[in-house]
Structure 1
Amino acid sequence: MSLCEVAEKQEQVLETKISDLENAKTMCKKMLESDELSYLNLKVEQYITELPEYWNKNKHIFKLDSVSFLYILLQII
């Protein structure tokens, strides 16, 4: 694999990560704007406008157990 190919692949990986970070940032921002944010009344669909599309795009995260999910989410944030 040439250096150019490696750089192109890395650029794609970074673009995906940037996009994921922007999505996580937007969701957190919307959550923080909520008056009564708690685990008891958390409804993801309030913060994600296109839930099925978001679910399909992030299946690798949602398949994890809750501890792993929170760990990854906190790393993204």
Structure 2
Amino acid sequence: MNLLLHQTPASYDDWKRDFDAHTETRMNAGLTLLQLWRDLDGSGVTALFQVNDRKKAQDWLDRETQTGGPLDARFMRTA
């Protein structure tokens, strides 16, 4: 299972520093970063994660939504 996550931070540089600083937190939530994309125009970012534990990942996502602003997130599986 995968998690596709998109958000548009006010500052990409600030967001990236914070994102990198919380790698261990995401790993503890059962998430492995597979790919990270940055919008060509603007500060939007999209991340693709492998999900190892759906409940832990959902709990992490709920916390991120409360503290990190709006996120567009979808749990997906290969068709």
> With structure 2 as the length reference, what TM-score do the two structures score?
0.27
Structure with greater strand share of residues: 2
